Structure 1
């Protein structure tokens, strides 16, 4: 079915006013930028250090896959006026919903802990001292912003925070990059079917296509409707044409920005660490430290500050997506546009998930082991959740006249099939 809206039967309904190019960007841009969280930066740094430019093509390969599934998630929220978990609860078996949400919570808390730990460690590279006070401070700051700042202002903060990713373009600019080799690495696929190469492919795809981003983008589209006092597209079909175009543009820009940043992280670490024979990177912080003698203080500071800045963007997305999923599961009042007294349980989930992430850093847990198990959970959770998401997007009871088109469905199913293959490779590798 095409994306063209049907005529509205509601008297007096008007098409949405024309919006500026910057105003069009929102949930998709933030979702894409949040995908480059500190743990993702660590993954891309390891790929660049270990393989040089040779695996950069994986990020170009993943771009259309992640764009398709994220656009579908955004459409579900905008068309139905409900998030992923809410639609799961209304149309699919409850045990499936509970299992998905439980796995999402586990993966998100582990990611929260790893990202907060990376942020604290990164800041100690610039401001020497113990990392735990910084970890606690970052966690409390994220909770306070989500709970006490109005949604309109908070959404604007998140949007502008995406500019922090530009630091990684600057790092690549000051590194001595062989741009001919880098271009070949990006444009020409090459995969040796050894364990290291397969695991790198699994890591990249598992990092770029993450379940928490599905819940976040759908939830943010619902929030946008509340903020602008508009109706779900299944109720107000005259507005659908412009809104669906906005979601497509917003998502495409966000995903391109996300993967271009990741490509430049791979290029920067390939040009410095790999060239110097440093092929093992355990974290984004280690990558920043290793860059200092090779690319200079400027690149080192940019890389370290980028970890902190992207973490400040990713922590609210991780905690917020968990809160959307839990609140929709139990039919609680939810949304960052709600006041604290209107959605106490929703904000409690945000606070508890973030606090649990802080607490993980008090335990003697190897951060790389934590990220490994988060990747395992995400890798196993993504394929079944993507199948259910595709079923929702093609379900007329949910989407009405706006079930996704065959072309978009093809992209979504292809993305699902690739992630299922990746999950199988993860288990067999």
Structure 2
């Protein structure tokens, strides 16, 4: 029963961390612009992050190290500095996007401009991190994130062409505007295969004191949790394709268009659920990314770190998430459109993937860390595919931003 509860709570955590401002906005843009044709990108991204999450949990449970610990130890600090800087900078931009997502939800709820909410949202996140425990962050906020299941209900009520939905799971040539099509595909993959998620996952495993007895549960958590999160993201795409396209909305360029996703099928309740989904999912992601910033820097420099310890016992750790939240809130305070920040940050995430994924592959094949639990042939092939895809994305993302991202 105890192991079942661990699996259940871990699945809830995975779902809560998967769907946030990035995946919600990119899925909506894909559905509005190209119907169901980009469903394959979501499926590929979900499979990739499920593999990476399972490996992250297995690495932590067997080696007793986080991924950042292993990278620093295996490659030395000078080489580790590159993935460290890339991850910290991209995470900061993604953190700004998530704070912006909460602010947009609050603007919908109160009619007070989103920029006025940025500092209060950052302050509330800081207070929860300062006073809360890892269990509160991991399970409390994520349980509330189950409200995002409303998109599954909306997708069923929208009565899409399920044959077209199934056809969209197979990559096909863009029907029009190829640059925009591939840019959105890149953004979806960046939103799904985010390094902060599997890096946070390994740190969380150490916080929860995982060992080899958790290997089976880890497989269930990563597969079911990420799979369910991917299903919700796919539901957003289906709703956008079934609801927005028939209304002639081919581009989601303004965050004021987001309520159109749920209102046509769920009425006023849809507006409330959209506000709750956006606020809770983005706030949960804000907490996780701010914590990951602190985990990454503390592990890089060998500081003491734990969300369960008192802040004065982890001064550097606590200072990192404090400064990260403040810096990430500033672009929103100055009025930068959160939706544009989100789109750019997802593409930039794709560019940064090789810096974190390739060293992780090396660690997962180093028997001095994982022993007999090193990657098998299938896992290696999958990660090699991810790394290769990452390099391709890194090459094409910036031109696509210029040609199709605007």
Query: TM-score normalized by structure 2?
Result: 0.90
Q: Which residue of the partner structure matches residue 97 of structure 1? A: 80
Shift of 1:350: 1.2
- Alignment of 1:419 onto 2:401: no
CA-to-partner distance for each residue in 1:335-370, whole Å, 9 max, x for gaps?
212222221211211121111111121224343443
Contact conserved, 1:123 with 1:305, CA < 8 A, in 2?
no
| RMSD of aligned alpha carbons | 2.3
Change (3 A) 1:178 1:296: farther
SS of the residue corresponding to residue 280 of structure 1 reads coil
- Alignment of 1:212 onto 2:183: no
Change (3 A) 1:332 1:196: same
Question: Which of these residues, 48, 57, 60, is aligned with residue 40 of structure 2?
Answer: 57
Q: Which residue of the partner structure matches residue 41 of structure 1? A: 24
Alignment of 1:265-414 (within 5 A): 265-282=236-253, 285-289=256-260, 292=263, 296-414=267-385
SS of the residue corresponding to residue 361 of structure 1 reads helix
Change (3 A) 1:39 1:216: same
Change (3 A) 1:192 1:130: closer
Gaps of 5+ in 1: 1-17, 234-239
Q: Which residue of the partner structure matches residue 72 of structure 1? A: 55
Shift of 1:428: 4.5
Deviation larger for 132-141 or 352-361: 132-141
Contact conserved, 1:328 with 1:334, CA < 8 A, in 2?
yes
Shift of 1:249: 0.4
SS of the residue corresponding to residue 397 of structure 1 reads helix
CA distance in 2, matches of 1:200, 1:420: 17
SS of the residue corresponding to residue 275 of structure 1 reads helix
CA-to-partner distance for each residue in 1:292-348, whole Å, 9 max, x for gaps?
467632222222221011012111111111111000011011121222222121121
Deviation larger for 19-28 or 195-204: 19-28
CA-to-partner distance for each residue in 1:208-230, whole Å, 9 max, x for gaps?
001111210110011110xxxx6
Contact conserved, 1:283 with 1:368, CA < 8 A, in 2?
yes
Larger helix fraction of residues: 2
Highest Rg: 1 or 2?
A: 1
Shift of 1:207: 0.9
Contact conserved, 2:129 with 2:307, CA < 8 A, in 1?
yes
Shift of 1:291: 5.3
Contact conserved, 1:43 with 1:283, CA < 8 A, in 2?
no
Shift of 1:31: 3.9
- Alignment of 1:203 onto 2:187: yes
Shift of 1:58: 1.9
CA distance in 2, matches of 1:283, 1:400: 50
CA-to-partner distance for each residue in 1:45-83, whole Å, 9 max, x for gaps?
100100112212221232322211121112122222221
Deviation larger for 293-302 or 402-411: 293-302
CA distance in 2, matches of 1:72, 1:28: 16
Change (3 A) 1:317 1:158: same
Contact conserved, 1:31 with 1:254, CA < 8 A, in 2?
yes
Q: Which residue of the partner structure matches residue 106 of structure 1? A: 89
- Alignment of 1:222 onto 2:206: yes
Alignment of 1:242-257 (within 5 A): 242-257=213-228
CA distance in 2, matches of 1:407, 1:19: 31
CA distance in 2, matches of 1:191, 1:335: 48
Gaps of 5+ in 2: 401-406
CA distance in 2, matches of 1:29, 1:405: 28
Report how many aligned residue pairs link the two structures.
398
Query: TM-score normalized by structure 1?
Result: 0.86
